[in-house]
């Protein structure tokens, strides 16, 4: 039945039609409500975006934007503040991006250059070279045999490369 039970399909044909019609009408109603909700949300987001773009900067907001506390708001500080205010990103993501930038800025200049890329690659290659040297040393020590193996373990434990 539909509603309070006053009306119910009585014939086989009307029941077959109800089996198809009722689920389809529920789906259509769900899609309609979804579109209405999306339109309302999109309108509110557009209004909020317009408000954020046309706001007046106050001294309090300026202090919040000035994360370096040097009396100047850089473009990066402004954009970071606005993205956080608009909830387009969260603080954790901005912090992670800042940490990534600091890792990439090998020359500590505050901007990324080709020199930073070269320094990062050289650092990575040195790390790989060191690992290969240690691996080679370990293989050499293990190939010397059983008694040298225990001596190698002792030398590694005490931080020296060659047994004393």
On whether the pTM is more than 0.85, the answer is no
Residue reference for tokens 């901005």 = 94
Distance, in Å, from the CA atom of 151 to the CA atom of 153, rounded to the nearest integer, reads 5
Residue reference for tokens 């044909």 = 13
Contact indicator for 158, 149 with CB cutoff of 8 Å: no
Distance, in Å, from the CA atom of 60 to the CA atom of 101, rounded to the nearest integer, reads 28
pLDDT one-digit tens code per residue, 26-67: 999 999 999 999 999 999 988 888 887 787 888 888 888 888
Between 121 and 4, the more confident residue is: 121
Largest CA distance in the chain: 100
């Amino acid at each position: 039945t539909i509603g309070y039970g006053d009306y119910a399909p009585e014939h086989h044909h009307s029941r077959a039609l109800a089996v198809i019609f009722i689920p389809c009408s529920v789906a259509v109603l769900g899609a309609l409500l979804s579109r209405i909700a999306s339109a309302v949300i999109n309108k509110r987001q557009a209004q909020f975006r317009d408000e954020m773009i046309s706001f007046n900067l106050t001294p309090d907001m300026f202090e919040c934007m000035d994360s370096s506390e040097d009396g100047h708001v850089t473009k990066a500080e402004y954009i970071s503040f606005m993205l956080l205010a608009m909830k387009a990103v969260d603080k954790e993501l901005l912090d992670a991006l800042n940490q990534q930038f600091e890792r990439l800025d090998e020359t500590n200049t505050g901007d990324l250059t080709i020199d930073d890329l070269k320094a990062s690659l050289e650092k990575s290659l040195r790390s790989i070279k060191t690992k290969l040297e240690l691996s080679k040393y370990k293989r050499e020590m293990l190939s010397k045999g059983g008694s040298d193996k225990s001596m190698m373990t002792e030398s590694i434990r005490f931080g020296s490369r060659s047994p004393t």
